[in-house]
Structure 1
Amino acid sequence: LAAVAALAAATRSAASPYAALPSVIAGLVAVVALHVALPSRRAEPAVAPKEPAVRANTNPESEVLATPMTGLAGQVPARRTVLLASSMTAAGAGLAAFGSWNTRALTTPILPAALPTPTAPLGPLPTGLESMVKGISALRTPVDDFYRIDTAILVPRVTVADWRLRIDGDVERPFELSFADLLAMPMVEADITLNCVSNPVGGEYIGSTRWLGVLTADVLKRAGVRPTADQILSTSVDGMTISTPVAALQDDRGALLAVAMDGKPLTAEHGFPVRMVTPGLYGYVGATKWVTRLTATTYAARRAYWSDRGWAERAEVKTQSRIDVPASGESFSSGFEVVIAGVAWSQARQGISRVEVQVDDGEWSPAQLGPDVGEHYWRQWRWTWPATSGTHRVTVRATDGAGVVQTTDVAEPAPDGASGLHTISISVA
């Protein structure tokens, strides 16, 4: 079993020379532990015991028999053997954990001494409504709270020395970039909300932050993508493939090959050293982590991982809104003003221009909007309601920058993103 585990670890695409170390250590410790716990025994002759079984007591209802231990010596581990085996097992677990930690330490990426300076640095983000409303999503999502959807069982560990980005396929000039080559290109800062297609209405698979990276359009321009290509098939270091429309990577939305988020290099969990970030598209068609290859091709010729599993090949983010506070099912006392607040987003549709809240079947009331960071970024909102007794249904809806109101049509996340209005229930005593 240890050999199988070691082979699996060593043959991963992103495996380091130390990848098999935890499995090897665990295997060696297991051998020693088994040797101590199960000492070799000489075969005993298969003869019947000379002494008959006798009753352990004179109680006629007792069926407990006392059997002589003749011929069984050495077959029952002594207490010290059990304790030693237990100690060896614990030591094995500790050594395996140390080996795993040591492997991670040995393969932890060596970060650049300093992040490159963007060609046009953005000013600081404005103060969000979180300073006024407890529990609302922060205007900028902390890295530790940023959602993750992984297809890899183990997070790939990539070093900047080993990383390469290959641009090939239906292009005039295929080429390859090292991490240093990428950092030498013009850097761009952009405030972008990233959204997972599996996010249900009112869900948490969404986050917003400031990204730093190279415009994907600049890289593709250097390669010279031919007009016959309509798809860029991106490949991750672990073999994951994602398909993105060529137009979405070359237009003015500002798709990035990002190297940093929230002012710090990407973490391994979020795609270090380089990941894709494509505003207006769900992550499964535009946010490849640990990206190592961009192949210009067509949707007819190549299918990506999620396309083979029934998800749409092209999926733009739908206009959505979410109630963060209060929590559904929360109770209040009448006579107080209840603060209802949350976030709304409508990427590639000129942002959010209006958010409205409805209690039960009443009129739609406009909410106060938070700061406008840009069309590709979510927008906070808040509304106060003078609570009245009873159980109430609270619903929110958003309007995009073009004046189109969020759809009431209910759709599941598959195949191209959820839709519908987020509704919660609260009670007032």
Structure 2
Amino acid sequence: MRTRLPWALYGVLATLTGLGLAHVVAALTDADTSPVLAVGAAVIDLTPTPLKEWAIRTFGTADKPILVGSVFAGVVALAAVAGLLARRRLLYGAGLLVALVAVAAVAVATRPEASVLDLGPSLVAAIGAVGALAWLSREQVGAPARGRRGVLIAAGVVGAIALVGGVGGQLVTRLRLRPEDVTLPDPADPAAPLARGLDQQVPGITPFQTDNEDFYRVDTRLDTPVVSSDDWTLTIDGDVDRKVTLTFDELLEMPMIERDITLTCVSNSVGGEYVGAARWLGVRLTDLLDLAGVGDRADQILSTDFDGMTISTPLALATDGRDAMVCVGMNGEPLPREHGFPVRMIVPGLYGFISATKWLTRLTLTTYAEQDAYWTERGWATDAPIKISARIDTPKALAELDPGDVVIGGVAWAQERGGVAKVQVQVDGGGWRDANLGPSGGDDYWRQWFYRWQAPSGSHRISARAVSGDGEPQTAARAEPFPDGASGLHEVIVEIA
């Protein structure tokens, strides 16, 4: 065991050295080409939908760190095996390390927008790992004759390279993630001032406007893309009269609208956190489509991000008069990088997986018969309006409270259905009672609500439902997020002392 343990450690050190060097190279170019992230992204693409939904329900926003950690743990375990193989013969250990890197290289090469240069980090990882393992092996084999000093020096240098590479890659990534200095134009069609919400009146309620740093993020990427506005262009093509390409400056010169819109992820479970409300600035989608002239065959807009990720939006819904827009601003600031800088798409009333493409670079007018997008290939719905829903923010499930006055509160949304007309609360299966509504931010914006309840002692079940301005009540029928969004009533159980 004593003779095997150092060799396993050498395999791990060598692999970490290769990964550290690769991480620096990837950070200087495209972090998604980093071997671990590339494999993680491939795992996401290959994971069956039910397993993805389970991971989101179980781990929430920690699902991606857990995935990356799992991939990294697997790589470390195999690296230890490579070290043990090198104990028998260096070629065996080096071969396993090369095989590991080859898996990452294939994951990078099969990305939609991959180029030969994207394989650079994988090549660096292979050279660094094999070179480090060869050095450590040579020193270990020669130790009986030359002493342990050479082994210790080699292990220390290799470990330092791995550490510096990992830390250096992170520092470079942070520098690249700094926001650009962009001055946004004033909107030609501004939104009305947003009323003051119930944030201070009802402790525990969700803020009326979601801060940028608190806004949920759900996408298939394991990193935060760095897209320069100087190099960015938007192309409109497909079934159009003329192909149009716009630069970022040209987009900013177009008339801008400003709207308060609530976004919801289709993976949001009943009562879930994947929903947020913000003020968005951008160009009307129809204004952009008019520049190209839409043909008479198209029934979908296939939007593509900078890395080839595609989302399909029903053309009829995107152009039916709602405030569909190509956005450049969020809550008075340029889009944060994690939310799509420099440009993203938003179509009110539709779940994000068919409407909210981030890092947008192309709008292709086509048909569902001709082209499938990422999510439609995986069986998700092509037409997915956001379902009416109310969420209970306070009290929390299983809260222990004193008898008497208890404030129940939360948010509700009913986009493209006349907004939220009322929210009702039910306790222990009794009658539905109207809650008090906070101010309106428009039909496409959520609404805060609260209800004062005189709570008796015991265990109680609290339910809430919303009713739209069109008179449609929230359904009690339970449905999972796949394929077109979750439904059912949010319920919490509380204990009154």
- TM-score above 0.5: yes
Using a 3 Å threshold, how does the CA distance of structure 1 residues 254 and 357 change in structure 2: closer, same or farther? Answer: same
1:38 matched to which residue of 2? 137
Q: 2:427 aligns with which of 323, 335, 359?
A: 359
Post-superposition CA distance 1:314-338 (Å, at most 9, x none): 110111000000110001122x211
1:93 aligns with 2:163: yes
User: How many Å separate the matches in 2 of 1:7 and 1:108?
Assistant: 30
Where does residue 157 of structure 1 map in the other structure? Answer: 226
Structure 2 residue matching 1:222: 3-state secondary structure: helix
User: Which residue number corresponds to residue 345 of structure 1?
Assistant: 413
Deviation at 1:107?
7.2
CA distance in 2, matches of 1:413, 1:302: 24
The equivalent position to 1:81 in structure 2, one of 147, 151, 170, is 151
1:213–1:260 Cα contact (<8 Å) kept:
yes
SS in 1 for 2:199: helix
Cα deviation, residue 264, structure 1: 1.0
**SS of residue in 2 equivalent to 1:411:** coil
Residues 209 and 42 of structure 1: CA distance in aligned 2, closer, same or farther (over 3 Å): closer
Distance in 2 (alpha carbons) for counterparts of 1:204 and 1:136: 13
Q: Which amino acid letter does the alignment assign opposite residue 388 of structure 2?
A: T
The answer to whether structure 1 residue 126 and structure 2 residue 195 are counterparts is yes
What is aligned with 2:255? Answer: 186
The answer to whether structure 1 residue 397 and structure 2 residue 496 are counterparts is: no
Q: Secondary structure at the match of 1:407?
A: coil
| Contact 1:128-1:371 at 8 Å conserved across structures | yes
- The AA in structure 2 aligned to 1:94 is V
Shift of 1:262: 1.0
Structure 2 unaligned blocks of 5 or more: 1-17, 23-100
TM-score, normalized by length of structure 2? 0.74
Q: Distance in 2 between matches of 1:42 and 1:321?
A: 67
- 2:324 corresponds in structure 1 to 255
> CA distance change for structure 1 residues 87 and 390 in 2, over 3 Å: closer, same or farther?
farther
The structural deviation recorded for 1:382 is 0.4
Mapped pair 1:411 → 2:479: yes
The answer as to whether partners of 2:113 and 2:308 remain within 8 angstroms in 1 is no
How many residues are matched?
398
SS in 1 for 2:249: helix
Q: Of 412, 425, 429, which aligns to 2:493? A: 425
- On the 8 A contact 2:264/2:386 being kept in 1, the answer is yes
User: SS at 2:138's partner residue?
Assistant: coil
Unmatched tracts of structure 1, length 5 or more: 44-71
In structure 2, the residue matched to 1:146 is 215
Q: Does 1:240 align with 2:280?
A: no
Distance in 2 of aligned mates of 1:24 and 1:148: 32
- Give the C-alpha shift of residue 274 in structure 1: 0.6
Structure having the higher strand fraction is: 1
Secondary structure at the residue paired with 1:284? helix
Determine whether 1:388 maps to 2:388: no
Q: Distance in 2 between matches of 1:161 and 1:11?
A: 27
Amino acid at match of 2:376: S
1:363, 1:161 → 2: CA distance?
59
Instruction: Tell me the percent identity.
Output: 49
Q: Could you say if the C-alpha distance between residues 272 and 10 of structure 1 is closer, same or farther in structure 2, counting changes exceeding 3 Å?
A: farther
The residue number in structure 1 matching 2:185 is: 116
Following the alignment from structure 2 to structure 1, what is the Cα–Cα distance between the partners of residues 492 and 177? Answer: 46
Output the CA distance in 2 between the equivalents of 1:98 and 1:42: 32
Aligned alpha-carbon RMSD (Å): 2.8
Q: Which residue of the partner structure matches residue 225 of structure 1?
A: 294
In structure 1, the partner of 2:277 is 208
The answer to whether the 8 Å contact 2:300/2:313 transfers is yes
C-alpha deviations, 1:273-311, integer Å up to 9, x for none? Answer: 110010000000100111111111111221111111111
- Which SS does the other structure have where 2:258 is aligned? strand
2:378 to 288, 301, 309: 309
The AA in structure 1 aligned to 2:472 is V
Q: What's the secondary structure of 1:381's corresponding residue? A: strand
Q: Does 1:196 align with 2:265?
A: yes
The residue number in structure 1 matching 2:33 is: none
Cα offset, 1:312, TM superposition: 0.7
Instruction: Provide the C-alpha distance between the structure 1 equivalents of 2:426 and 2:204, rounded to a whole number of angstroms.
Output: 20
Deviations 1:148-180 (A, max 9, x none): 112123332211122111111111122111111
Could you tell me which residue of structure 2 aligns to residue 297 of structure 1?
A: 366
Paired residue type of 1:230 = D
